Structure 1
Amino acid sequence: QDAYQNGVTKIREAISRGDVYQVNLCRVLSHPISNDQSILGLANELASANPAPHAVVISLPDLEIVSASPELFIKRYGDDLMSSPIKGTGKNEAEILEKDRAENIMIVDLVRHDLSQICEMGSIHVPRLMGVEKHPGLVHLVSDVSGKLIPNISWGQIFAAISPAGSVSGAPKIAALEIIKELEPVARGPYCGGIGWIMGDKCEIAVGIRTFWRDFKSNQIYFGTGAGITWGSDPLKEWNETVLKADRLIQIAGGQL
């Protein structure tokens, strides 16, 4: 906890210097798991106890991922793109602060910039700004940013422009990523990545938050949680936000594994 709160303080110092405006600071929890255990059974429990609009289950020879993500990273149908960043979290709507609203607007601007690199001029719109979404145990502020792709843009160009997701990095993105690399002692792994499907000129990819993964090489189960840090952040409150995001899902996993 001390290390995380110290990280919040360092980010606020970077903001005061003008280096960044917002940084998403994360931490990764881990717990030993026996060789013969699978986390795939957790998916059914999450589906009933914590249903999520972008839930994902992936089973690979050396990796299992179970995600209850509420956040859409990118959806493509033909030339139409949509991203729905989440910024602002509370137990209920009354707990959403002005700091959360400011943070949401910062990330919407970042996503608009990312999409502008691959979308036609004048096609970027924000059809929803700071909508309140209710999820099990908490509420989020969610915005939608849409655009129309420039003709002949490749998948590689799309992901080069938008990755990693603005909501889990910060603004400006490159400077935020440098601070994240300095302050986060453990690699995020699948957490905060893009998880979903691509087929032809269509895709639907979630931001890999609310995500458990099991690495067979280490015999550990992992879970990531984090919070967006701005000048208005209080270190203890940001720590508590990471606890709020993790607590319900950790309890569900504890009863399943």
Structure 2
Amino acid sequence: MAWARFSSLDGGVIEGSGVEAVTHDIDDLTAGFWAVTVTFEGDLTAVRLSEVSRRGAGSPSERVEATWPGVEGEWTNSLGDTAYVEGVEEIRERIARGTVYQVNLCRVLSAAVGDASIRALGDVLAQGNPAPYAATIDIPEAGLEIACASPEAYLVRRGNTVTSSPIKGTAATAREMLPKDFAENVMIVDLVRNDLQHVCRPGTVRVDDLCRMEQHPGLVHLVSDVTGELREGATWRELLDASFPPGSVSGTPKHTALQTISDLEPVARGPYCGAIGWIDTDRDEALLAVGIRTFWVERDASGKRTLRFGTGAGITWGSDPQGELHETELKASRLVSLARGSSGRVGA
């Protein structure tokens, strides 16, 4: 049976089941509670759930009976270590030419997964890597098998108030955060602010918090909050058109960053770096996470299941190629270890 679990706006848990409708058109979201994913490439899938329950912060959620057996065999990588370093160097050359200022360069890991339940992996992540914008979506009939431990909010909506909280800047400890990380965060905050101005009332877009330090399992992030008041009549289509894909996982200027990503990344990102979460049209509320720290299942024509996981880093002129490679490994190591069921290296 279709099932999904999300973080709620108050820090609690929302669980839903049953499929009333499936759509790929954002304009169809006019009533009900919807599980929503948008791939980095812009393909939306929304599922209206027939039964929804909410639990407050601190309340236990329904435990999954299935156990997670771990992935089968070794992880493969869409960009090996050498190719990733060369990609960083190419981006620095483009920055030197003035065509782009910052680009998020990513690679996708893959491993066979057999018949293991994505719900069980979601439970493993909830225990081993709790995240403020966690989500597990197990709706195979809509092509959605996703376990997300995202620390980053793409869009949080309460009525006409919308907030985006980009993350830029990652280190093992606060002391290791570099000046480059703060500069990168400020660049992306400016991009997000400009995106929201297209759909918000003039003068309402503001930066509530800039470069605060957040502690997450195994690392620290720099996080900022950008908030605005939507103009009257602004639609979800207009909001997504103005702000997607998230600036923190694309780059700036966004159009040249996206072209650079297309040039350098050999595979599609899918839900990784897209949007994952829920929209409640009846309450005029939503929480869409940036799809990072995310596992998803893809099936081939024969039904063989492959588990994928993406990791990346933001590249600026001040980037050290080996340092950026290490950042992708730092972000992935804890979660890949949980998915494997034991420790294991990411790269190669």
Q: Sort the TM-score into its range (normalised by shorter chain).
A: over 0.9
Q: Does 1:71 align with 2:152?
A: yes
Equivalent residue, structure 2, for 1:252: 338
Greater gyration radius: 2
What's the % identity of the aligned pairs? 56
Q: 1:54 aligns with which of 118, 130, 133?
A: 133
Q: Is the 8 A contact 2:118 2:138 kept in 1?
A: no
Q: Which amino acid aligns with 2:103?
A: V
Q: Distance in 2 between matches of 1:92 and 1:164?
A: 28
More relative contact order, 1 or 2 (CA 8 Å, 6+ apart): 1
Q: 1:43 aligns with which of 122, 142, 159?
A: 122
TM-score, structure 2 as length reference: 0.72
1:46-78 deviations in Å (ceiling 9; x for gaps): 111110000010112243100000000001111
| Structure 1 unmatched runs, 5+ | none
Q: Which amino acid aligns with 2:217?
A: P
Q: Is the 8 A contact 1:24 1:168 kept in 2?
A: yes
Q: 1:236 aligns with which of 322, 336, 344?
A: 322
Equivalent residue, structure 2, for 1:96: 177
Shift of the alpha carbon at 1:39? 2.6
Q: Distance in 2 between matches of 1:153 and 1:21?
A: 30
Shift of the alpha carbon at 1:85? 0.1
Shift of the alpha carbon at 1:40? 1.9
Q: Distance in 1 between matches of 2:188 and 2:295?
A: 25
Q: Is the 8 A contact 2:107 2:311 kept in 1?
A: yes
Deviates more, 1:212-221 or 1:134-143: 212-221
Count matched residues: 255
Q: Is the 8 A contact 1:24 1:167 kept in 2?
A: yes
Q: Distance in 2 between matches of 1:29 and 1:242?
A: 11
1:108-159 deviations in Å (ceiling 9; x for gaps): 0000000010011111111100000000000000000000111101110000
Q: Is the 8 A contact 2:118 2:136 kept in 1?
A: no
Q: Is the 8 A contact 1:69 1:210 kept in 2?
A: yes
Runs (4 or more) in structure 1 with deviation over 3 Å come to none
Q: Distance in 2 between matches of 1:251 and 1:59?
A: 22
Higher helix residue share = 1
Q: Is the 8 A contact 1:84 1:144 kept in 2?
A: yes
Equivalent residue, structure 2, for 1:210: 293
Equivalent residue, structure 1, for 2:253: 172
Shift of the alpha carbon at 1:216? 2.4
Shift of the alpha carbon at 1:33? 1.8
Q: Distance in 1 between matches of 2:329 and 2:118?
A: 21
Deviates more, 1:137-146 or 1:213-222: 213-222
Q: Is the 8 A contact 1:54 1:69 kept in 2?
A: yes
SS at match of 1:250: helix
Q: Which amino acid aligns with 1:157?
A: E
1:8-55 deviations in Å (ceiling 9; x for gaps): 000000000110110000000001122x22232111111111100000
Q: Which amino acid aligns with 1:74?
A: L
Equivalent residue, structure 1, for 2:85: 5
Q: Which amino acid aligns with 1:140?
A: H
TM-score, structure 1 as length reference: 0.97
| Structure 2 unmatched runs, 5+ | 1-80, 343-348
SS at match of 2:341: helix
